[in-house]
Amino acid sequence: MSVEPEFIAARFLAEGEGYRVEPLGDGLINQTWRVSPAASARFVLQRINARVFPHPERIAANLRRIQAHVHGGRCDFAEHWPDLIAPREGGDTVLDAEGGHWRALRYIEGSRVLDRIATERQAVAVGRVLGAFHAALGEVDCAELEDSLPDFHVAPGYLAGLDAVRAAATGLDDPSLRQALDFVDARRDFVPVLERAKAAGLLRLRVIHGDPKLANILFDRAGERALTLIDLDTVKPGLVHYDIGDCLRSCCNHSGESPDDPGATHFDLALCEAILRGYLSEAATLLTAADREHLYDAIRLIPLELGIRFLADHLAGDVYFRTESRGQNLQRARVQFRLVECIEEDEAAIRRIVAASLPSME
């Protein structure tokens, strides 16, 4: 990318206003900066990854729709919502000479993200914010939202994608690659579990976040209260199971997605319990009996799905997720698969946690 963020940032500011631009966060898809103007509020500047999101106008339409909902009612998030900021010339995004779309969002002062969850209280806060998000956005009719990323979290689609790149790949006899592929092969029958239940009418679509990993949860400065979820590109109709599974695979894995020692990857049951407790304190009434019966499967499936996505991207030559070195996506896949193993080993305990936090299941 040769377009400079400094050059684009000016388009969101009054003519002649001074400002500073610095990189922000470590998302794997879009590129993100924080802009600090001399005389106005700081904002987040993002270049949308066009390979992943070919329809930025759909994202903007969804952001506007949910922003109106959040500000229109009694929504806890309103105060900390990352509102879309229009460029000086109007519209939603600035188009650069290379066809890239850039947008600005309100920067939430006094907030931070956590590298890892350190206390039970933080875990409960994470669950609560996700539950409150589902409860609040559940009031929006799915039909009013665009599909900003078709087939996102449709696990059988990712498996088919892996099979396609695998058929064309060379070097498949590398032992760690072989092991990762075998890991997936042993779980093929499980991959469609949520999509089958959806097709059978057991699980229904609701407005979801799509990417509620720990890095997308804003806390207050003290790291005690979760203020809101950010990174709203994938807010669209989906299963709440995708979000619950994604949140738990991220938050219950202390060593993160790229640890120095993948062998140390572990699924923290106490955090899982606290997050689900927080979630249900806000969203219990949303969940049907069928929703509840599929929670363990969701917790197992989403890290498996992410591992499949990382593995397919490794075989495709690292075209989707940002990497720092060749082999990183394979490593990331192995970490997710280790997490799946931990979840499988703890199946009985996880099912007990789910049942205990949902007494009506017993």
Interface with ligand GN1 (CB under 6 A), residue from 3, 24, 28, 205 = 28
Contact status: 52 vs ligand GN1 (CB under 6 A): yes
In DSSP terms, 20 is beta-bridged to 36
- The CB-of-29 to Mg ion minimum distance in angstroms stands at 6
Identify residues 104-143 at the interface with ligand GN1 (CB under 6 A).
none
291 contact choice in Mg ion, ligand GN1, none (CB below 5 to 8 Å, kind-dependent)? none
Instruction: Pick from 211, 282, 291, 313 the residue near ligand GN1 by CB under 6 A.
Output: 211
- Cβ 280 to ligand GN1, closest distance in Å? 23
Which one of residues 12, 13, 27, 350 is an interface residue with ligand GN1 (CB under 6 A)? 27
DSSP 22-39: EE----SSSEEEEEEESS
- Residue number with CB closer to ligand GN1 (27 or 161): 27
According to the binding rule CB under 6 A, does residue 234 interact with ligand GN1?
A: yes
List the alpha helices (DSSP H) in the chain: 5-9, 56-72, 120-137, 155-168, 175-185, 193-199, 240-251, 269-283, 289-293, 295-316, 328-345, 347-357
CA dist list (Å): 305 to 11, 142, 217? 39, 24, 21
Contact between 246 and Mg ion (CB under 5 A)?
no
Distances (CA, A) of 205 to 146, 194, 234, 271: 13, 12, 14, 27
Q: Which is nearer to ligand GN1, 13 or 252 (CB)?
A: 252
Q: Is the dihedral of CA 75, 44, 307, 310 positive or negative?
A: positive
From the list 80, 111, 112, 85, the residue with the least C-alpha distance to 8 is 85
Question: Cβ 306 to Mg ion, closest distance in Å?
Answer: 12
Identify residues 291-330 at the interface with ligand GN1 (CB under 6 A).
Answer: 306
- Enumerate residues 178-237 that contact Mg ion by CB under 5 A: 211, 231
Q: How far is the CB of 52 from Mg ion (least distance, A)?
A: 9
The residues of the shown chain that bind Mg ion, judged by CB under 5 A, are: 211, 231
